[in-house]
Amino acid sequence: MLRNQYSPKILYISYSIVFAIFAIYTGLVLISPQKFIYDEVYYMEIAQNFLASRLSQEFIRNISAPTGILYALVHYTFYPATHHQIPAIRFVNIFFLIASFSLIFASFKTIAKQESCLSFLNAIPWLVFPAIGVISCIALTEISAITFFLISTFLLFYAYNDGRWRASLYSILYLVGSGLCLGLSTWGRQNFILTILGAVVIFLPLSRRSTVLALSYLLPVLLVFLYPISLWNGLVPPAVEFVEQGYKFSNLILSLGYLGIFTILLYPKSILSQSRQTLLRVFWVSLALVVFIPGLKYVPSVFLLQSIFGITFTKVIAYLFGLLLTFTSILTLNFIYSRFRFTQNKTDLKFYTYNAIIIVLICFSNVKIVHQFSSRYITLVLPSLVYVMGLSSTLFANGFIYLRLVFSFLMSVLFVLNYYEFLPF
């Protein structure tokens, strides 16, 4: 049994790591700046406007950020405890981090039927990805949307019940709940509407019953998703319609590239186990793409790097970093595709396929974001990456896993401290 692969010492270390992670994130929020920082300024204004307008058509039309309806609802719900004060508003996201971790654990245990210990171990990476600290320790919009997506996913596959739909009434209730939660997640991040394309695999092959069940899921999603869209006459509010004007296809490679870097950091076997011939072919393809597609020459924190290295050397870094992102993006996709044939169980195969499709589609949806690119956009697919890798059993094949977890977590903490402006650079 899987349980016997892990000694009490390993489990004790894992529990201690998770406790320490939550304790440190909590400590970071406690010492955080006593002022709104970064995007909190814009989103808390929306939350405060909601107190007066509630969910009126006027409120929705006049939102001044690409997302924010779910954010306003969440902070309205917690208002009796937070009163929109710092640091209380940031603890709301710590709550959602705990909830999202619990949902990932529950999905591995209930849907993938993994032993409790393996489910717990497979869920840990979600807490330590370098971008997770920022969306959890600052009152931003991503973590609440991700949590509603995870609730939707859990209810969807709980209704599916090992390939045998539960009694019709229960299945419909679970699917309606799943659809409503997915719809609410789109009020936090519109990208999640693409989840319905991944969900198609669950309802195939179509029959009279599966069609009824599919509609029980789809109609609530569309009802919730389309309501603000109909008022905006677009995917975003009129005040910020510039963010969706046009396409930037290089964002797909950049998104998959960041995903690849996170994969190498915590699941290196998935990349390094590929054949030398594959690695060489992918390298030459990546080099050609970076040379001929200007948008792939990318560097994070460009102004910081220019101040340290100068403009010329920063351009060299942009080539190298773009090459790394392109290289890892192709290798990650190749690994995800290659693992399909190793997934034998019917439910696991559909769960794997569902999450693999979501990874690709949500990364692709970033081509519609033309005003900037941020590694925060990748956080939306990290739960699906955790599911895919957890089903592939690649995480604990290497004895240095705890060093990788700690290193990744320290990066996450550093990013938080940088946003708090506690670092000297």
Q: How far is CA 68 from the centre of its chain?
A: 17
CA 238/CA 114 separation, integer angstroms: 46
Q: Which two tokens stand for residue 106?
A: 């529950």
Nearest alpha-carbon partner for 148 in 213, 100, 94 = 100
Of 229 and 6, the one with more pLDDT: 229
Average confidence (pLDDT) over 86-115: 95
Q: How many helices (H) and strands (E) does the chain have?
A: 21, 0
State whether residue 39 is helix, strand or coil: coil
Nearest alpha-carbon partner for 146 in 110, 118, 187, 112 = 187
Of 97 and 8, the one with more pLDDT: 97
CA 131/CA 21 separation, integer angstroms: 14
Cβ proximity of 232 and 238 under 8 Å: yes
Q: Which residues of 288-308 are buried (b: 16+ CB within 10 A; e: fewer)?
A: ebbeeeeebbbbeeeeebbee
Cβ proximity of 142 and 183 under 8 Å: no
| Highest mean pLDDT pick, 178-182, 239-243, 255-259, 299-303 | 178-182
Q: What is the pLDDT of residues 335-350, one digit of tens each?
A: 888 877 666 677 788 9
**pTM attached to this predicted model:** 0.92
CA 414/CA 285 separation, integer angstroms: 33
Q: What is the pLDDT of residues 349-383, one digit of tens each?
A: 899 999 999 999 999 998 887 677 777 889 999 99
Q: Which residues of 391-422 are buried (b: 16+ CB within 10 A; e: fewer)?
A: bbebbbeeeebeebbeebbebbbebbbebbee
Burial class (CB in 10 A: 0-12, 13-18, 19+), 164: exposed
Q: Which two tokens stand for residue 6?
A: 């892990």
CA angle 39, 67, 38 (to 5 degrees): 5
Nearest alpha-carbon partner for 356 in 367, 376, 342, 372 = 342
Cβ proximity of 35 and 146 under 8 Å: no
Task: Check whether 1 has a pLDDT greater than 50.
Answer: no
Please report, for residues 16, 19, 22, 117, 402, the alpha-carbon distance to residue 10 in angstroms, rounded to integers and kept in the order given.
10, 14, 19, 10, 10
Average confidence (pLDDT) over 261-267: 88
Burial class (CB in 10 A: 0-12, 13-18, 19+), 344: exposed
Task: Check whether 395 has a pLDDT greater than 90.
Answer: no
Q: How far is CA 111 from the centre of its chain?
A: 19
CA angle 101, 417, 192 (to 5 degrees): 40
CA 379/CA 383 separation, integer angstroms: 8
Q: What is the pLDDT of residues 159-217, one digit of tens each?
A: 998 778 887 889 999 999 999 999 999 999 999 999 999 999 999 888 888 899 999 99
Q: What is the pLDDT of residues 40-67, one digit of tens each?
A: 988 999 999 898 888 889 899 988 888 8
Sequence letter at residue 244: E
Q: What is the pLDDT of residues 402-423, one digit of tens each?
A: 888 999 999 999 999 988 988 7
Q: Place 12 in a pLDDT band, splitting at 50, 70 and 90.
A: confident
The per-residue pLDDT for 368 is 82
CB-based contacts of 205, cutoff 8 Å, min separation 6: none
DSSP codes joined into one string, 69-134: HHHHHHHHHTHHHHTT-TTHHHHHHHHHHHHHHHHHHHHHHHTS---HHHHHHHHTHHHHSTTHHH
Q: How far is CA 267 from the centre of its chain?
A: 16
Q: How many Å is the maximal CA-CA distance in the chain?
A: 65
Task: Check whether 276 has a pLDDT greater than 90.
Answer: no
| Highest mean pLDDT pick, 48-52, 225-229, 314-318, 392-396 | 225-229
Average confidence (pLDDT) over 65-80: 91
Please report, for residues 48, 78, 226, 317, 367, the alpha-carbon distance to residue 310 in angstroms, rounded to integers and kept in the order given.
42, 46, 47, 11, 29
The per-residue pLDDT for 137 is 96
